[in-house]
Amino acid sequence: MTRSRVIRETAFRWQGVEPHAYKDVAAHHRGVTRHTLLGGEGRDPALDIETRYFEVEPGGFTTLERHAHPHAVVVLRGRGEVVLDSVVESLTPFDVIYVAPWTTHQLRAATDGVLGFLCVVPRERDRPQPVADGAE
């Protein structure tokens, strides 16, 4: 059993949480780091979710992908846009995004600053399926 705790934040870095590469293969994304805050890597076994913080460098983007599990996303800093199937929406701090299962999606940072967002997903989930640009 993991004990209850507070994880302190300073300048979008959390105590004891190391940033990691977004994904092992960088062919379909650019300038993204992942910080697993809760529920990852065998920690917090009572949680059925993972809470992660992602940072996307100016002009960077996540993989254009889809999968069976949903996402809940909260933008914390910066500006950018999200692709949800064929719709592109602008993003600013505190916007909330629901990504339904099998929705093709991607987050992109504006060119003038970092886009930072929380992303909550089920702990047990399927692997993302990359989507070629323009294919659905």
Q: How far is CA 123 from CA 44, 100, 116, in A?
A: 10, 16, 21
Catalytic residue flag (residue 126): no
Which of the following is catalytic: 37, 83, 114, 119? 119
Residue with tokens 């199937």: 85
Residues with catalytic roles: 119
